[in-house]
């Protein structure tokens, strides 16, 4: 019998690249590369064929940390070499994709309900993509069905290069006669349909792709909507909190409105995550609340971030505005009164300052940020309301993108911009709040050709 050979690890517990601590699940791909769930180091290590030093491909010490693991116990690669990991002590299964890691199942904490797991240990896929999980703490095997089209987002997340630029001179896409005074709500979906809230006319103005003039408007019993969000099926979620204390949904199927959330202030930002959870940014209450749209109980709001008392500590907010939830269910908040952007990771009520003067690596000064989007590479794009500009991050840090010539009404200027959205070509549409217009800034495709 051929003697055993060492594939990975020194035999001495440790966290160096050639060491392991409490190895559990393993996977070897067709290139004979070995993936190890290095449980006690809270990471997944890749040992390339013939190599004894591992590369951290998931976990807090990876080169591009996108998810925090707690005792990973199982790992599988799919046909495109994306990682799927059993995150045992976080009671969930996570997976990677073109947008980074996100929670897949067991995303609601430890428990025995149908949407929960308790210390899952291993898993496997059938040929249809359904997932079978050994739910160790609940002494059962759980089957999770693959949902077709489950990864479709309704908004655009372009993939930009580090040298991306936009035409500094914007085009007036819509003026005050169309969108009213002080318009703040805009959404561009993946079909390039553009939705803008008109606060004066109590209507939503809609442009189909390539239309210069509005193709439709939807009126309703709402007052001064600050924000809106459109889902993949065309349903429109609209802030109506100022006077009516609610968020309304306009159904594309029935062309009627229904109340989907009760609130006690305006929602300065609205967002629906991949798990059909609706978020409302209540600036006056210094708090973000959320509720599952799958919950039959309307009054089921939960706190997503903020204590309800304005402040600058890690668990507090001061006048939050725009919000964004990524595929990991991590929440990004433009914390206007604190001139910063806060990241609240899934299940955490203490935020991390990712940009602003208090961030770990301050690279830009913000003045009341009011809108935020992450692109496909998880780079941040921020509306810097008080500085009258849009800024963005990249491999070289933050820089001004549009509105870089001070406050004003010229084509290369903005005045208190509030929100923005990308179309699928990467063009940027900005609610130029102080100038009562929508500005379109054209993406220079040639800026990324090299």
Tens digit of each residue's pLDDT, the chain (450 residues): 778 999 999 999 999 999 999 999 999 999 999 999 999 999 999 999 989 999 999 987 777 666 899 999 999 999 889 999 999 999 999 999 877 888 999 988 899 887 889 999 999 999 878 899 999 999 999 988 776 544 568 999 998 888 899 999 999 999 999 999 999 999 999 999 999 999 988 999 999 999 999 999 999 999 999 999 999 999 999 999 999 999 999 999 999 999 999 999 999 999 999 888 999 999 999 999 999 998 888 888 999 999 999 999 999 999 999 999 988 789 999 999 999 999 998 889 999 999 987 777 667 899 999 999 999 888 899 999 999 999 998 877 899 999 999 999 999 999 999 999 999 999 999 999 999 999 999 999 888 876
- The topology (CATH level 3) of 165-444 is Neuraminidase (2.120.10)
Indicate if 165-444 has the same CATH topology as 23-145: yes
- The topology (CATH level 3) of 23-145 is Neuraminidase (2.120.10)
Domain boundaries, the chain: 23-145, 165-444
CB-based contacts of 174, cutoff 8 Å, min separation 6:
196, 205, 214, 437, 438
CB 316 within 8 A of CB 286: yes
């Amino acid at each position: 019998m051929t003697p055993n050979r060492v594939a990975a690890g020194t035999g001495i517990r440790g966290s160096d690249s050639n060491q392991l601590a409490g190895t559990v699940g393993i996977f070897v791909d067709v290139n004979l590369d070995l993936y190890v769930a290095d449980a006690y180091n809270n990471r997944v290590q890749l040992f390339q064929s013939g190599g004894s030093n591992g590369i951290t491909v998931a976990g807090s010490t990876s080169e591009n940390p996108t998810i925090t693991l707690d005792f990973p116990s199982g790992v599988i690669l799919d046909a495109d070499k994306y990682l799927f990991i059993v995150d045992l002590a976080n009671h969930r299964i996570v997976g990677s994709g073109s947008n980074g890691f996100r929670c897949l199942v067991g995303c609601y904490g430890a428990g025995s309900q149908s949407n929960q797991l308790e210390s899952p240990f291993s898993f496997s896929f059938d040929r249809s993509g359904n997932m079978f999980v050994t739910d160790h703490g609940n002494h059962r095997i759980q089957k999770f069905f693959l949902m077709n089209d489950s990864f479709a987002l309704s908004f655009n997340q372009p993939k930009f290069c580090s040298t991306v630029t936009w035409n500094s001179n914007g085009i007036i896409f819509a003026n005050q006669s169309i969108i009213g005074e002080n318009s703040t709500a805009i959404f561009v979906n993946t079909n390039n349909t553009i939705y803008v809230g008109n606060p004066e006319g109590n209507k939503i103005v809609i442009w189909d792709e390539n239309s210069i003039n509005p193709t439709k408007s939807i009126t309703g019993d709402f007052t001064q909507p600050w924000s809106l969000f459109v889902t993949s099926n065309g349903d429109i979620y609209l802030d109506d909190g100022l006077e009516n204390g609610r968020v309304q949904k306009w159904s594309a199927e029935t062309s009627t409105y229904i109340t989907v959330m009760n609130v006690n202030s305006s929602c300065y930002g609205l967002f629906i995550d991949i798990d059909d959870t609706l978020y409302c940014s209540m600036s006056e209450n210094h708090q973000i609340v959320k509720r599952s749209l799958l919950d039959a109980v309307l009054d089921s709001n939960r706190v997503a971030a903020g204590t309800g008392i304005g402040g600058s500590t890690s668990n507090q907010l001061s006048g939050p505005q725009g919000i964004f939830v990524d595929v990991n269910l991590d929440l990004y908040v433009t914390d206007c009164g604190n001139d910063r952007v806060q990241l609240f990771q899934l299940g955490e009520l203490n935020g991390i300052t990712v940009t602003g003067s208090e961030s770990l690596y301050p690279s830009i000064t913000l003045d009341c940020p009011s809108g935020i989007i992450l692109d496909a590479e998880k780079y941040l794009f921020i509306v810097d309301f008080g500085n009258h500009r849009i800024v963005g991050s990249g491999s070289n840090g933050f820089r001004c993108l549009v509105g870089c010539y001070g406050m004003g009404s010229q084509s290369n200027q903005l005045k208190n911009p509030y929100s923005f959205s990308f179309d699928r070509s990467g063009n940027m549409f900005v609610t130029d709040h102080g100038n009562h217009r929508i500005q379109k800034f054209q993406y220079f495709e040639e800026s990324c050709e090299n």
